[in-house]
Structure 1
Amino acid sequence: MYKLIIILFFALPLGAFAQTVSTGIVYDYSKKTLTLPGVVVKNLSTQKTVLSNSTGKFTIPAKIGDLLEFSLMGYHTDTLYLSNLLARAIYLPVKSTNLKDVDIQGVKINKEVANAADPLAEKYTLLSTGGNLGRKRMTDKVGGLGLNLGYGKYKRQQRKEADLEEREQYLEEIDENFSEKNITELTKLEGEDLKHFMIIYRPSVEQVKAERPYRYTYYISRAYVAWQKLTPQQRKLQDLPKLKAN
């Protein structure tokens, strides 16, 4: 009985640590730097809902494999499948209103009203710094201030995620073009020979990235010429030297 209690005691913290979150910032799709507060972020897998704060940032309990939904009045609703829990930027496009142009030629505007200063403008352009520093004039609205703490780390995570996504796209391109079907049509290789050929001469992401568009048919032909010069034993090795550049 005591052993069971001890096991349960140590199991509880593990359940707590298993709880993870997804974070990010929601932006206007057209105005990339405009953050969107009040966006409803809903985890469709758990039905948990949160709102983005005044800077567009959101934090919601989630795990890899969950589906998040982003909605805001006047914007298209979007969904996101969580393949990882890195901080990310979400861009929502504005809904098209398709309103007809309004004829305002006959409307008269009071000059005093038109030239009057906005009485609330000072609240947005001035920000109190407290203490003896007095008031400091700001060129941007208070509501448009970006995140400062941790922003550099967030941007690095964004770049890392973008690099990984780009690499995945290149890998998919290589899989599609350097395929068994394409190689067999060009070289007539089959079975173990085809398998070893693909292991030895599969082009790297760096190769494909350096030459755009990459000529897969030409590369396979050159690789096959090099393959024919190998001994039967060499064709089974995976550490052969790479093909020489043109």
Structure 2
Amino acid sequence: MIFCLPLFVYAQNYMTGNVFDNDQRNLALQGVSVRNLSTKAVVVTDKDGHYAIPAKNGDLITYALMGYQTDTVYLVNLFPKNKYLRAAVNNLNTVNVTTAKVSPYLDAKDPDAKPARQVDYSKNRGGLRLNLGYGKYRRQQAKEQELEQAADINEEISKNFNREVIQKLVNYKGKDLDDYIGLYRPTVAQIKADKEFDYTYYIATTFTEWRKLPENERKLPPLPKLKGKP
């Protein structure tokens, strides 16, 4: 028992699991930022997609990787979790060009123009590499801003969608309320899509919907087994 105690304590204070691509389920994702929004702890998945982060029941865990949709989990237990991230898709609106006007000055020469200086793109020149480095920096900055925005939104959700607020609104004290919270917790995308998100209306409608579900569908789905684990 004495030798097993450290392992037991570790299991009780850490959330572990693996992160995979949603379409290619056997593709482990390395470099995923796993952040505990309640404690601000952050870890990154290894080459096998594995992570271990300090956590406890009631914490919010968010998963973010460039090119994938950020996802958030409300912890109702500390069992190991596999997470499957969906690839982010940017849909561009169709633009119909009905008329076009060509400027008569397109072929005009600038009297003050000077011949352009040729640029040496050989490997000994560093300008191109510096530009690529700056582009990577800008992408990293954009990623950090996106994570910060998601953290702010999740903090807002936690204040307006929690056990205490829901119990006061619907007058329900059942122990299975955590299942409702886990199944119907609003996502960051939902909040961003509606700048004036009405939490009271959302709770009232979704709670009624949840209560009408068959009992087996009102429970959180069982956690998938980790790779290589019995």
Question: What is the TM-score of this pair, normalised by structure 2?
Answer: 0.38
| Structure with bigger RCO (C-alpha 8 Å, 6+ apart) | 2
